[in-house]
Structure 1
């Protein structure tokens, strides 16, 4: 049975949010301002999920999805929403998260960073499944909220020539010796190069290799093979080992990488993001700058073109070694250095050991930079970077870390804004700028944080004491009831004698 609902807003899974009898209802396929009929999919004590049955009053921002697989394929969530409105929703989500998680509002909201909305995805992991009921081999993304592979014949967020490979890849995999033991193909595009990484669980036959080479020649791609973990990845043709790269013309850089390395999905937005980050950081020629979670040096090398020294820190030595090689090839070896360290376990002592940094760039994974933020908050005014630019792929951890920097460390949240790295998805990439207060202001914030910590500890002790007192009172009452019962039983027994 369908219910009529008025949609108030949208969550980051692109589900409309309605309320019915005081309960939140998440409605797949509905947009803010719409009146819809919806069929309930699941009921929980505090919320329900539903799916649109009919749109009675459509939103002015509703558009016809470009991809025929939208709604089934899990690659996109917002194709039915006008692209600029997608960005506005992400910006609102970022601001709301800053407030709800960190009790913060940026002093200035940056204009969204936007780029191409179609054909932007230069990295993708395509699943491969043999499904006889659907005609054989499927190659594509997973279906929405499912482990099944979508029956995809085209994909509009992939570059056109990669989308055109979906059906030929099906045919190719189906002709190989063990198609059911080839679970995925990773796509990685560089400047003028399309690399495909075939994951195979059984050794390839000579016939398989011949098929791959013929496909590569026909479609102008390079094959890489992965038999086990990431360390086993290698080019089918040795001359392709160093062919994959992306460029950052503004800084005169060519960044080589391997197809399974982490690089940004959207090369156009990455170039714009690096440019904006460096402008916001305001690096001076005499500055020593840190780049934490540096990876292959995506920010480190551009920073080295502007400052006195750029120090990149990353958890993988293989990545920092290759970042330094790239710096050396560009003549930046004397202006860069790299350290390998688990940045999820650092402290203020470690930060001090690296020496003073005028400015710092932080670009963590979704887990954020909690330990780094706590360490920065502990530094005295004269020990700390004056300005920090934080690039985030998770608004919740950014807001958490921002709260530490501001409420415990004495930094100001000067500005923040979204980066639309993944159009048509709910993914929110963002950038934030922090600037330290003066020495007196830092001391004042630290003292307030200390007093809050003391009060919180006292409140915790009081709460524990109250809990113990309540437990003791309950035990005493129970014992009293038991004693009274035993006394009554004894009295009744005595009366019967």
Structure 2
């Protein structure tokens, strides 16, 4: 990985630091332009490869500095005007100044470069990147709510760039269109409520034709505030839930039907507020089809699906294999996955709750005759897990990664255990951001 000094506290540049003119050579894995200044690497937000820009240093570190773009003197042909008028302030997107097709291409190159440089590995086959609609793709989001002390006005929006403070948002181009009026309506309904400071944020989670808003509160809301929540949810045709300080979830009203989505045409999954769903349903469908194509399951196979969630991959695979075993770290998700298996009348699944960062060798599910493994770990990857699953000598392992650095590290471990990286691609799960979703197929070396 390039520079992983995020946890170090930056020193503040001198207030009198003058703007500097620099040339940008390439893009970092975090989506920032890279230049060099006084023998140090300079990461420049808002800059693109092959540009000449004017920048201002905003943070200094021992080995590198950080800067913001002030002016573009010579623009890349891949630069575009950011379509969102909140882009300069909002911290949600960081690549709207780069045309989406080029952004996906650069992401692909960046992951391949990391694999080559740090794992000394190149895939035997690279598939075309899988693109997504660049806007209105996101079906889950956390929207902050805060009442300002100075004038008691209500701010509803996202965190500012490099800040914990909120910026007021009118509308968000990457959110599902069903959430288009969320910000406007929240300000409308909550601004006049005396206890609106009770709400710290709103979590939105959407299925195919249903969805929910969860209001995180610091204390029990008044009847008037609860009524405002109901009005907001009714206007958006969404369910309303309240989450307290202890994480308890209760519905605002009691006439709710199940929240559902289809990961594949033949499987219907129920979910609840707080559950994890892949944020981009278009790419989720493509990802499941890709997994089925690459792993090529048949009726003799035993699939082990690690970090299985609600059964997003487990249940579509269960229709193809002898047995599908899903393992997840949250018991509530395991119970939901079991219920989903039953409601889909799928009888060849087993679901377990386990800490996948610990020793799994003693677990009953790990003793099954596993022939293929699918894992979709969090950003931290699966460092303690890969050496253990490699010992099963499954013929294929499909690794879905949201962090190129973790994938690179875990690729080294899998190759050392006798696997080769046979196939690779990138999917545009998060358009207009620097986040990268990759898929790597590892097969036992002959």
TM-score, shorter chain, exceeding 0.5: yes
Match of 2:374 in 1: 361
Distance, in Å, in 2 between the alignment partners of 1:12 and 1:135 is: 40
Distance, in Å, in 2 between the alignment partners of 1:147 and 1:221 is: 28
Q: Is 1:281 aligned to residue 298 of structure 2? A: no
Which of 7, 25, 50 is 1:8 aligned to?
A: 25
Distance, in Å, in 2 between the alignment partners of 1:212 and 1:426 is: 34
Q: Is 1:262 aligned to residue 279 of structure 2? A: no
Match of 2:329 in 1: 315
Match of 1:147 in 2: 164
CA contact (8 A) 2:22 2:54 kept: yes
Distance, in Å, in 2 between the alignment partners of 1:373 and 1:202 is: 43
Distance, in Å, in 1 between the alignment partners of 2:130 and 2:151 is: 41
Match of 1:190 in 2: 207
Which of 379, 387, 394 is 2:396 aligned to?
A: 387
Which of 47, 51, 56 is 1:39 aligned to?
A: 56
CA contact (8 A) 2:195 2:225 kept: no
Match of 1:424 in 2: 432
Q: TM-score w.r.t. structure 1 length?
A: 0.83
Cα offset, 1:371, TM superposition? 2.2
Which of 322, 343, 362 is 2:356 aligned to?
A: 343
Match of 1:52 in 2: 69
Distance, in Å, in 2 between the alignment partners of 1:135 and 1:177 is: 10
CA contact (8 A) 1:358 1:386 kept: yes
Moved over 6 A (4+): none
Q: Is 1:174 aligned to residue 191 of structure 2? A: yes
Which protein is richer in helix relative to its size? 1
Distance, in Å, in 1 between the alignment partners of 2:440 and 2:351 is: 24
Which of 406, 421, 439 is 2:415 aligned to?
A: 406
* Deviation string, structure 1 residues 170-220 (Cα, Å, up to 9, x no partner): 122222241122110001111222311111111122222222223333332
Distance, in Å, in 2 between the alignment partners of 1:235 and 1:254 is: 22
Match of 1:65 in 2: 82
Match of 1:247 in 2: 262
Cα offset, 1:118, TM superposition? 0.1
The residue matched to 2:303 in structure 1 has which SS?
A: strand
* Deviation string, structure 1 residues 115-159 (Cα, Å, up to 9, x no partner): 111000100001111125577111111001101101211110012
Q: Is 1:324 aligned to residue 324 of structure 2? A: no
Match of 2:444 in 1: 436
| Distance change in 2, residues 1:132/1:415 (3 Å) | same
CA contact (8 A) 1:295 1:323 kept: yes
CA contact (8 A) 1:347 1:374 kept: no
Distance, in Å, in 2 between the alignment partners of 1:3 and 1:208 is: 51
Which of 184, 207, 217 is 1:200 aligned to?
A: 217
| Distance change in 2, residues 1:51/1:94 (3 Å) | same
Q: Between 426-435 and 352-361, report the one with greater CA deviation.
A: 352-361
Match of 1:79 in 2: 96
Distance, in Å, in 1 between the alignment partners of 2:106 and 2:151 is: 37
Q: Is 1:290 aligned to residue 304 of structure 2? A: yes
The residue matched to 2:36 in structure 1 has which SS?
A: strand
Cα offset, 1:166, TM superposition? 0.7
Match of 2:9 in 1: none
CA contact (8 A) 2:136 2:175 kept: yes
* Deviation string, structure 1 residues 429-459 (Cα, Å, up to 9, x no partner): 1110010023xxxxxxxxxxxxxxxxxxxxx
Long gaps (5+) in structure 2: 1-17
Match of 2:423 in 1: 415
Cα offset, 1:349, TM superposition? 5.2
Which one has a bigger Cα radius of gyration? Answer: 1
Distance, in Å, in 1 between the alignment partners of 2:337 and 2:407 is: 26
Cα offset, 1:256, TM superposition? 0.7
* Deviation string, structure 1 residues 293-331 (Cα, Å, up to 9, x no partner): 111111100110111110111122221121111111111
Distance, in Å, in 2 between the alignment partners of 1:353 and 1:69 is: 49
Distance, in Å, in 1 between the alignment partners of 2:353 and 2:20 is: 56
Cα offset, 1:77, TM superposition? 0.1
Match of 2:5 in 1: none
CA contact (8 A) 1:360 1:388 kept: yes
Distance, in Å, in 2 between the alignment partners of 1:350 and 1:187 is: 36
| Distance change in 2, residues 1:245/1:3 (3 Å) | same
The residue matched to 2:294 in structure 1 has which SS?
A: helix
Cα offset, 1:161, TM superposition? 3.5
The residue matched to 1:79 in structure 2 has which SS?
A: coil
Corresponding residue pairs, total: 429
